[in-house]
Amino acid sequence: MSNCVYELEANPGGSRFCFENGYLEVVCENSLVTDVPETDIESTNGLAILITGGWETKLTTEVYFPSINKGCSVPNYDLPGKVHTHTMNTFDNKTVFCGGGDFQSHCIELTPTSPYTVWTKYAYLQERRYEHTSWVSSAGLVLIGGYAPYSAKAETTAELVNGDILPFTLPPTRDACAIGDASSDSFILTGGKFTLAKVARYNLEGLVENLPDMNEGRSWHGCGSFNSAGKMVLIVAGGGSTEKFVIGESSWSYVGPLPKVMSIVTSLNINNKMYILGGRGTSDIDILTDILEYDADQDVWVKVGDMQVPRYRHAAAVISADFDNLCN
């Protein structure tokens, strides 16, 4: 067992996660689990939000099913090391988290199996990524920006996972939030520690256009979009405020505020709806469980549920799943 590199802090002596032949395998009760057939996550029914890691919850996962407003912890999906300040995306029937925590140099794929779950190495990265953002392009997953002290070029580069550094230079980009636009194969980069109120559209070749600045500078914020009357509408939210921008218009407008102070949140879209999950409140010990949904008709946030545990510096992605299989 000399190749084992991780043992779960929450379960010492239990399941361990090992690099073996270039990927992570689960070692259960000292017996190597191999040749377990994969389950296609697209074949299961229902959409769920998979929530992983966090600063104080770095080894754990849970799911939330918006359609039935229920969720649960998923011990079988416990993480193969400290996972926080990362990104997570679902694309091409894969769910992959990248960077952050113990995994700044690579991406790990969730490959559900029965009766075991394996976290598999998906890619090594060109640059160490931490406090970055991400976008799913037509060419694959792209990681954007990062934390320069961990990698000198991270803040000013974007890279195609399992590919190359993209051929353009970003302004220093850290703690920003990217909104994908599949219709133009581009992403809209909002805010960040150094870029604050700035908003710009990029594609795989570089800068496409600068968009109007937000009304206030933002970092560690949530972002998303929805379509309304054939137009793409952008939403950014963090601190206590929310702003909206309709593509083609000339300025951002304030809309319904968040129900409380929320920073270092995680956000995502499901079926033309935007969600914000968790984050930090008014102090370092005020960690949140809230799950909020944006009501586009009323321009307000509605609390629809709670996570199983408070989280910040976590990540979330949409997966196909069955509540009874995962939670009962």
Residue 30 has pLDDT above 80, yes or no: no
Look at 16-20, 131-135, 306-310 and tell me which has the smallest mean pLDDT: 16-20
Residue 33 has pLDDT above 50, yes or no: no
Q: Is residue 77 classed as helix, strand or coil in its secondary structure?
A: helix
Average pLDDT over residues 185-211: 98
Q: Is residue 103 classed as helix, strand or coil in its secondary structure?
A: helix
- Provide the 10 A C-beta neighbour count for residue 99: 30
pLDDT digits (tens, 9 = 90+) for 35-65: 222 333 333 358 999 999 999 999 999 999 9
Secondary structure E strands in 129-239: 133-137, 140-144, 158-160, 177-181, 186-190, 199-203, 206-211, 222-228, 231-238
pLDDT digits (tens, 9 = 90+) for 98-136: 999 999 999 999 988 655 667 999 999 999 999 999 999
The pLDDT of residue 17: 43
The pLDDT of residue 115: 56
pLDDT band, very low/low/confident/very high, at 277 (cuts 50, 70, 90): very high
Cβ atoms of residues 95 and 48 within 8 Å: no
- Which run of H or of E encompasses 327? helix 323-327
Higher pLDDT, 104 or 27: 104
Give the neighbor-by-neighbor strand order of the sheet with 4-7.
4-7, 16-20, 23-28, 31-32
Residue 177 has pLDDT above 90, yes or no: yes
Q: Which residues face 51 on adjacent strands?
A: 62, 316
